[in-house]
Amino acid sequence: MKLYIYDHCPFCLKARMIFGLKNIPIELKVLLNDDEATPTKMIGKKMAPILQKDDSRYLPESMDIVHYVDKLDGEPLITGSTNAAISEWLRHVQSYVQQLTIPRIAKAPFDEFATPEARAYFTKKKEAMIGSFADLLTHSPGLIKKISDDLRKLDKLIVQPNAVNGELSEDDIHLFPLLRNLTLVAGIEWPSRVAAYRDNMAKQTQINLLSSHAI
């Protein structure tokens, strides 16, 4: 199987997580961010992740990929109950967190930005959505304080470092990608349980954190 991704993309991270959790080998193919032709040829639009299955058919949509791969061996891992408080926390944080992460993603050495044209494509698209990256970076201190406060609230919800609710669930699939991308943001105060969970999930899923590129 092959998984077509962008390394920065939270939806792509969700799809990658299940392969790491189940220790299933997967060939990762990073698409250039301005490559519209390749995904369109596969599924009719520019989108990632895309799983190319062993029968060569393509499967898009992150959670569809997660559920497909999790059930391949008849022994699914993602079986735990979800917690409405985690969903609510994610909804709240996602209302502003892209203002912190996206300007930093645009500067980071991701393979999807291997050409100047690919990086410029991303910058143009995202600045049209959320505003000037330079302005957003200038206003980071207030948002860094805000996310640090919100991470303290999350700290109280974490049951175990290897699964937010004590047993692997869809909450883990949604939560870890956001925490991973937040490691690009310098100055965040990480509470102990959140940090332990973040680091443990990185190890379990075999997905690197981004702290070495933090701005």
Question: Are the beta carbons of 15 and 51 closer than 8 angstroms?
Answer: yes
**pLDDT level of residue 120 (50, 70, 90 thresholds):** very high
pLDDT at 127: 97
Question: What is the mean predicted confidence (pLDDT) over 72-77?
Answer: 96
Q: Average of pLDDT values for 153-174?
A: 98
Asked if 176 and 205 touch (Cβ cutoff 8 Å), the reply is yes
- pLDDT, residue 174, reads 98
Write down the pLDDT at residue 8. 97
| 77 closest CA partner among 199, 169, 1 | 169
Instruction: Provide mean pLDDT across the span 185-198.
Output: 98
Residue 50 pLDDT grade (very low, low, confident, very high; cuts 50, 70, 90): very high
Instruction: Report, as an integer, the average pLDDT of 22-29.
Output: 96
Domain segments of the chain as ranges: 2-70, 85-213
Q: How confident is the model at residue 156 (pLDDT cuts 50, 70, 90)?
A: very high
pLDDT for the residue numbered 205: 97
Condensed to tens digits (0 to 9), the pLDDT of residues 201-215 reads: 999 999 999 999 999
* CATH (one of 1.20.1050.10, 3.40.50.800, 3.10.100.10, 1.10.10.60) for 85-213: 1.20.1050.10
| pLDDT at residue 104, as a whole number | 98
Confidence label for 178 from pLDDT (cuts 50, 70 and 90): very high
Superfamily of domain 2-70: Glutaredoxin (3.40.30.10)
- 2-70 and 85-213 agree in CATH topology: no
